[in-house]
Amino acid sequence: MSIYQANPPVDSLVLYKIRPARVVSIGEKIEIELAGGHSKRVRAKDVELLHPGPLRSLSELAPQQGELTEAWELLEGSETTLKDLAELAFNVFTPATAWAAWQLVAEGLTFSGTPRAIQARTRELVEREQAERAAKEAAERDWQAFLERLAAACPAPEDTHRLGEVERLALGQSEHSRILEALGHQQTPGNAHRTLVQVGYWERNHNPYPVRCGAPTQDPDLPVPALPEDERVDLTHLPAYAIDDEGNQDPDDALSLDGERLWVHVADVAALIAPDSDLEREARARGANLYLPERVVNMLPSAVTDRLGLGLQPVSPALSFGFRCGNAGEIEEIEVCRSWVRVERLSYDAVETQLDRMPFAALHMIANRFRDRRSAQGATSLELPEVSVRVVDGQVIIRPLPRLKSRAMVMDAMLMAGEAAARFCLDRGLPIPFATQPPPENGDESTDLAGMYARRRCFKPTRLSVVPEPHAGLGLALYTRATSPLRRYSDLLVHQQIRAWLSGREPLSAQRIIECSGEADTASIAIRRGERLSNQHWKLLFLRDNPTWKGEGVVVGREDRKAVLLLPELAMEVRVRVRDEVELNQRLQVAVGEIDVAELTANFRILG
């Protein structure tokens, strides 16, 4: 008679899910006892009979010694039942041997199936399964050893490929890391960053933000054509000065005086970068140079700068913008030409000491006239703290940028050239990306730090448009960016349009200008964000390496029980909890507290 009945008898051994159980009673439902004495009422279909009993206690299911291998070898490739398997392997069919036989089946190596139909697997399948299980066990041992090495911050060389998974999370290229999960860490870019530094995969000062923001990290590797044989005006007789920060590597503008006429010479980048060429498409895909404290990633191959950077060669090709600045600061008699110039490179600091001598005194006077006009037209001057952050031989150097008259003079000269270029193009119907900005929605004209901080937040970002509209922040009715084609795509686009007109070629259409400048503007978002976060990263590393740093903070805002401070020495905005009321522009002494480089956060406390 078959042991498999509709309902298992009382005191029989049944299988409930994957656990053994003893049938206690049978009614509308079957009451079973599980290990530990727990009872449960289940349906008949929820259990499967293994042995009819009697089984008085689950403790009777003790481990059994039997001829397991021999039983499999005899049955290999055939089908059997649990009863026959138990009798063959253990010479007796009892609840204990039935359970032992079933465990052999459940293991799934030599046998598989159900209690009523058990298949003895073939030797080929068994050996393949054994190999797979051995490989899986070895992999698990290797995985656990890897996790132990990470927990001890002592990874082995062979762990590098695995840590790429954590790096992808740290760089924002994935959202999941099995490794961080196994280590019990929340799966965030900050935790991934911290882990990579702890185990030595990343250097302690590693800057992940350019890659995390999607910015390029290498200069373009493209061939650069030869300079075309253009007709050029020889302006080498005019002394020309490229004035910039000490150590600047891409001088793309210079100033000359020819009587009352001011010339702004700009590197003639469009001479080498033709529209829709490989170089132009690469520049468009980048949008701008990426300026990091540790290095510069160029928009164009370095060979372009080597050939065209003003003052890097004895004589340089330029696109020169000539004009007069009238007594009321208006731009007059605009001329644009391809030129040859001979340029001397000077620093802002060097020129600052010569503003009372020619030609710098005259340049300074012209710039002041132009600035007065801009101010009368509503230009906003926000003199918020600025610093230079540089990494030199692994050391972070933060240097406040002083408000130099020479720097303001050069800035106004570049703005004059931008207005001149915009007027030149507008008068000739050349579509270009005009730089525009609407007036601020509100905000007063306070010149204190808190007032300037608040006013800056009222301005919308500058946008590029083929429609000529005012730039409120600069106080100009018409303006375009035209003096930095080595490092900014929109300037290059303006140059290409002007060169097309000068050469008698068809310029790009307004629609094409919109498409190209829009693509580059989108790309430059990653550049700007990468620069901003990188500067913050290196500032925090500076503070981490100078844990006793103390300095002055100026209150520029209030938020609940916190004060918003600007730290002029670091050009850094921080929020500090305060116990007492503070006034705007109040100066507080602060000290650095906890620094979390991976999360890009810093805590400060008020002293005294």
Supply the pLDDT for residue 7.
Answer: 80
pLDDT mean over 562-575: 91
Per-residue pLDDT tens digits for 204-250: 999 999 999 999 999 999 999 999 988 999 999 999 999 998 877 88
State pLDDT tens for residues 284-307. 999 999 999 999 999 999 999 999
pLDDT in tens, 348-394: 999 999 999 999 999 999 999 999 999 999 888 888 888 999 999 88
Res 426 pLDDT > 80 = yes
pTM for this predicted structure: 0.81
Predicted pLDDT of residue 604: 92
Q: Are 417 and 266 in contact (CB under 8 A)?
A: yes
Q: Average pLDDT in the 261-266 region?
A: 96
pLDDT, position 443: 57
Please spell the DSSP secondary structure of 92-155, one letter per residue: S--HHHHHHHHHHHHH-SSEEEETTEEEE--HHHHHHHHHHHHHHHHHHHHHHHHHHHHHTT--
Sheet-wide strand order for 331-341: 233-234, 331-341, 316-325, 261-267, 253-258, 240-244, 343-347
Res 20 pLDDT > 90: yes
Predicted confidence (pLDDT) per residue in 110-132, tens digit: 999 998 899 999 999 999 999 99
Q: Mean pLDDT over residues 436-464, rounded?
A: 80
- Predicted confidence band of residue 424 (pLDDT cuts 50, 70, 90): very high
pLDDT of residue 493: 97
Beta carbons within 8 Å of 184's beta carbon, 6+ residues apart? none
Q: What region does 184 belong to: left with phi over 0, alpha with psi -120 to 50, or beta? A: left
Confidence category of residue 151, pLDDT binned at 50, 70, 90: confident
Measure CA of the first residue to CA of the last residue in the chain; give whole Å: 94
Band of pLDDT at residue 1, cut at 50, 70 and 90 = very low
41 and 26 in contact (C-beta within 8 Å)? no
* SS3 state of residue 195: helix
Q: pLDDT at position 582, please?
A: 86
C-alpha to C-alpha distance for 155 and 145, rounded to whole angstroms: 10
